[in-house]
Chain A
Amino acid sequence: MITKTAWKNVWRNRTRSLVVIAAVTIGIFAGVFAVGVMNGAIDQRIDSAIDNEIAHMQIMAKGFSLNNEPGSYLNDVRSLKDSISAIEEVQAVCDRLFVVGMANTARKSAGVNIIGIDPAGEKEVFNLHNELVQGMGNYFGGEKGSYGVYMGKELAKELNVIRYEMNDDIIDELRSSGLPDEILSEFGSFSGNRFSNEKDFKKKMRSVLTEEQEAEYGRSIIEAVSAFSERARVVFTFVDMNNTQTGSVFRAGGVYDIPNSMFENKYVFTRKAALRNLAGFPENAAHKVIIRLHDIDDTRKVSKKLRADYPGLEVLSWRDIQPDLALTSEMAEAIYGLFMVLILAALAFGIVNTMLMVVLERTKEIGMLTAIGMNKKKVFRMIMTESVFLSLTGGVAGMVISWIVIRLTSEKGINFRSMEEGFEALGYSAHIYPDIGADFFLIVTGLIIITGILSSVYPAIKALKLDPADALRTE
């Protein structure tokens, strides 16, 4: 009965209630959607880090993670891999050589980590082979013994392995992708020109395009003209096991692109055999054995087991390797909750005000109810229920809208292109697919109900203080 009365009471002053409900709707929608965007970004970051960068677990010799000394490698890796593969939770295992050195091309050089891999085994653990940029080489496609290099897009740009060239083929390609003829005819004037870096090309492009044209087409133009110099010379130099400087000519093989420019700049991949021959590592040696599990939630369990089995080795889980990721994902939930609490606290002021108004304008009525024998508890509950209805109606509406909007935007994602450089420097993609779990909606629902209850306390106390006789006399 009380519930029914409370619900009817909400609609006695329709405009006023609707204003409060609208406020809650908009506040909850904005809050949940913002959390969805943040959560999507963080999930994407963690997935990408695990799939492309670190996998679930890594095993190495004690002390290797600190100083990367080439001499501290693991022996007899094959049997180590075999016994790890036998663990039920493990999906796949691969091993890598790891040396710190320099990559030099004809004109430039950069400090890099050179990773020696076995491409077939690597595909089982990492997803990096799928991040190959279209039209820019391949993932270790050459013959087995070749010195091919798979490198990040940022590094390829830095080392001038990616060049910029305008020619008639590209103009045709751009035409078919729908670029206006007036732009294409401008490009015709410098067809055949080559540019050694993006800046030079951009300069030229800007001289013929208006700002609006650049904003609209600039990116696809740059993508079309950038060309990968396959088989370009890349000289690696590094210090080998015996502390002597060594190096050799490798050939650019393919380019990968992931949303982490730090990683792209630093990690280059080559065949393990090539690196082994150069640096003189024994046949069965590796610096890291890397593990992928069926389920990320088993990480703790498996790392505990491995630590017990191999006390002489260093066993690192993804949490140890990237503590920032682990902490971000753990802290994220608390931050989302805090954010919602802040919004609801702001909403509470409006609800308190409205409920206070409700109580004051119904002084006579409440007095009457008490006079005819309704007890104080019930009055209290009636007011509280009305307040919860106010907040919950808006809250549910807000959650439904935000759920729909998150579903809609998560299909194509939201693009923050103008800030791509900054996002990718931190390892986050600038193209975000909003996403939020069902449990978050439960938490928010709980928070909304609590807000409704808390904001009714003061007005309800006010109502109970009324003396029925006095209240009846008021106009």
Chain B
Amino acid sequence: MAWRNLWRNRRRTIITASSVFFAVFFALAMRSLQLGTYDYMYKNIIESYSGYIQIQDEDFWENRIVNNVFEAKDDLKQKVLEDKNVKDIIPRFESFALASSGPRSKGVMVMGIDPEKEKLLSDVEDKLVEYRLTGEAVKALKSEDIPEYLSENLDIFTGNSYSGKGSLQLDLGIKENDEEAVMPLFEKYASVENRYFSMGEESSLAGDRLSRYLGLEREDTVILIGQAYHGHSAAGKYAITGIVSIPNPDLDNKIVYLPLDVCQNLYYATGKLTAMVLHVRDNDDKAIEETISRLDSRLDAPYRVLGWKEMNSTLVQQLEADNKSGLIMIGILYLVIAFGVFGTVLMMTAERRREFGVLVAIGMQKSRLTGVMVYEMLYIGLLGIVAGVAVSVPVIFYGHNHPIRFSGNLAKIFEDYGFEPVMVFQLIDNYFISQIMVVVLIVLLSIIYPVVKIAKMDEVDALRA
């Protein structure tokens, strides 16, 4: 009966349902984009730097000096590896130094890594630059016979570096049937020869942006000067074997990698570490929290267990603030829609006073009448939700597979703030359920009015209306 009632005033039903649809669609698309982008940013910083969990000396995080290091003892490793969620340990030695090359210098982050183990997490080798679109390279490419669109795109992306064919082709929008013709040209003019390093080698890898700032090329030498363990002073010269492109612009601007043992020698700290990054089996929030608390209780005083949220607290706060502003906006939208729904309820009640009166007079219980009203409104709400979901899901799926990548000035804004200029949609998740809950809540709230009205209704009066 409720369903049939709905279609007595078809237009109104459709308009009300479409207002719900409008809100649901916007809310879903926006949530998907926000949450997806947060996830992407978190994953980015976790996988290129912090990892999910680190074990450090208890003072290192607040006081990042070479004296706050610890010995990588076997029994410590054993204890950590016994945890069921820990697959492996990635050792690191991290410090600051002044890097100079010729007249240029800059304060940098020096990171000693185990070249093999690091592949488990940040995989520096995979980030070695393969193509570099320098001014000369672009010029040479444009002098060849290349399609129009490609030469336009080359202008936009001049100066960029790529760690693989895939990302190069994606940025430049190289079409499949052009691939065979143009790729050899890129090999000829824009490819860079880079090499990873191994333990014991007196060589280094530099971030792409850093290398451009310092004017470093492969085979050049970088001089590192800093403070070493127990007041020594650290100084060393290292040949660059490769340039790496790190997705996080802030890190890319300041990172120099050294093989772990070489780095420990530089800082007079043989056998010491600043952090053990844990390679975990299960990385969802709950599993990480549990692992941290387990390790916390097993490891004693000089060690401290840090989770990624603690290590990236600034980013977590920023995204939290952004998240809240998004929620406020959706809240305003839903508030407005709620009034619309309430308006519809009001009209329905008013125009059907007489009908209600008749129904009650011929013996329908008020509670059943209320039930009919509730169903009617719920149907409208559901109609809007179903339509909203139906339209937003394809959009979200498409967006998930084709992340939005900004270029030009907009990209620069993101990079200035240390973010990668990419927005990603998140696939269906809990946020879908919360939208549905909100709409149901709106409907239930607006239904209070007619329910009270029906309960108070005097049949005789109503009949006369």
A: residues with CB less than 8 A from B are 13, 15-16, 19-20, 22-23, 26-27, 30-31, 34, 66-71, 100-102, 104, 107-112, 196-199, 237-239, 243, 245, 322-324, 327-328, 339, 342-343, 345-347, 349-350, 352-354, 356-357, 361, 416, 419, 421-423, 425-426
Contact = CB atoms under 8 A, between A and B. Distances in A.
Contacts of A238: 98, 105
9 contacts: A19-B339, A108-B64, A110-B96, A111-B108, A349-B19, A349-B22, A416-B321, A422-B314, A425-B317
A111 B350 contact: no
A245 B225 contact: yes
A168 B321 CA distance: 39
B243 to A, nearest CB: 17
Nearest to A239: B105
A20 B321 contact: no
A26 B62 contact: no
A343 B321 contact: no
Contact of A239 (B96, B100, B315, B336): B100
B328 interface: yes
Contacts of A104: 227
B107 A422 contact: no
A68 B213 CA distance: 9
Contacts of B63: 107-108, 196-197
* Pairs A-B, 7 closest by C-beta atoms: A111-B107, A422-B317, A23-B339, A349-B19, A350-B340, A422-B318, A324-B413
Given A69-B103, A101-B105, A327-B413, 11 more contacts: A34-B332, A71-B103, A102-B96, A102-B107, A243-B102, A323-B409, A323-B412, A324-B412, A356-B11, A422-B315, A425-B314
B329 to A, nearest CB: 7
A421 B412 CA distance: 22
B346 A15 contact: yes
Interface in B1-24: 11-12, 15-16, 18-19, 22-23
A455 to B, nearest CB: 10
B67 interface: yes
B336 A347 contact: yes
Given A22-B339, A26-B339, A109-B227, A346 B320 contact: no
A392 B319 CA distance: 36
B197 interface: no
Nearest to A350: B340
Contacts of B339: 19-20, 22-23, 26-27, 347, 350
Contacts of A101: 98, 105, 107
Interface in B370-424: 409-410, 412-413, 416-417
Contacts of A107: 63, 65, 67
A349 B18 contact: yes
A356 B12 contact: yes
Contacts of A343: 332-333, 336
B225 A237 contact: yes
Describe A's contact surface by its main secondary structure: helix
Contacts, number: 171
Contact of A422 (B320, B335, B337): B320
Interface string B344-373: 101100110000000000000000000000
A238 B98 CA distance: 8
Contact of B329 (A20, A71, A339, A426): A339
A109 B109 CA distance: 12
A26 B343 CA distance: 14
B286 interface: no
A94 to B, nearest CB: 25
A422 B106 CA distance: 25
Contact of B347 (A23, A30, A349, A353): A353
Given A100-B107, A109-B227, A361 B351 contact: yes
Tell me which of B342, B346, B351 has the highest count of chain A C-beta atoms within 10 A of its own C-beta.
B346
B44 to A, nearest CB: 16
B104 interface: yes
B271 interface: no
B98 A419 contact: no
A349 B318 contact: no
Interface in B207-257: 213-215, 225-227, 254
Nearest to A459: B11
Given A71-B103, A324-B416, A349-B340, A357 B332 contact: no
Interface string B65-97: 101000000000000000000000000000010
Contacts of B103: 69-71, 239, 243
A339 B313 CA distance: 29
Tell me which of A71, A322, A347, A361 has the highest count of chain B C-beta atoms within 10 A of its own C-beta.
A347
B65 A108 contact: yes
Contacts of B320: 419, 422
A73 B93 CA distance: 37
Nearest to B16: A353
B149 interface: no
A327 B23 CA distance: 29
Nearest to A326: B409
A68 B104 contact: yes
A357 B317 contact: no
Nearest to B347: A357
Contact of B213 (A20, A67, A327, A425): A67
Contacts of A342: 26, 333
Given A16-B347, A111-B106, A111-B108, A346 B340 contact: yes
Nearest to B227: A109
B225 to A, nearest CB: 7
